[in-house]
A and B are shown apart, each in its own frame.
Chain A
Amino acid sequence: KAGVTQTPRYLIKTRGQQVTLSCSPISGHRSVSWYQQTPGQGLQFLFEYFSETQRNKGNFPGRFSGRQFSNSRSEMNVSTLELGDSALYLCASSGGTGTGNTIYFGEGSWLTVV
């Protein structure tokens, strides 16, 4: 059974640019959530999508957005990149309902903003 796949794995962007990250969840999983990990702030929740609808959102500015497609694949976009957006971006996949709902992470996308 394939795991959570994130692309690209590594990327370097310039301040002011935008970036799009992609995530394919585990087959059959309908929930995809995104996290940002930095040394100073740890792992922080960005947003979660379930059946193409954003179900939950963390405390990040509107420059961070996402969407989910009918096949459950998800993308997140960061516009007008800032140096502080340099981080590991993690996608997590789960069945999406009820207790006993295990959540698995992809390998992450390392974003460096210069």
Chain B
Amino acid sequence: EPEVTQTPSHQVTQMGQEVILRCVPISNHLYFYWYRQILGQKVEFLVSFYNNEISEKSEIFDDQFSVERPDGSNFTLKIRSTKLEDSAMYFCASSDGLKSSYEQYFGPGTRLTVT
């Protein structure tokens, strides 16, 4: 069964450094998403991406964040100048966009620890 994959599974970085989180969505999907889950809190939407551009972003997704689809398979989230409060589990998701389901398939997540 096709699945969303994410690398790395765990990333430790120092405050102020830049990190890139990588995702490989399901191959025929058209919509891509990033969510995050701070420990003990709810899963929060960050950004959605369609047709090579951001379709929606939350108030969390400020200039510190950027997304890119550098090739036909990868979808990346870049966090510039990381802060302690960026420590969280980051989930990538993808969707085929069909009205029959609107289901988003989630990857296993990348745990980001900022020290």
Q: Do A and B come from one complex?
A: no
Interface residues, chain A, with chain B CB atoms under 8 Å away:
none
Interface residues, chain B, with chain A CB atoms under 8 Å away:
none
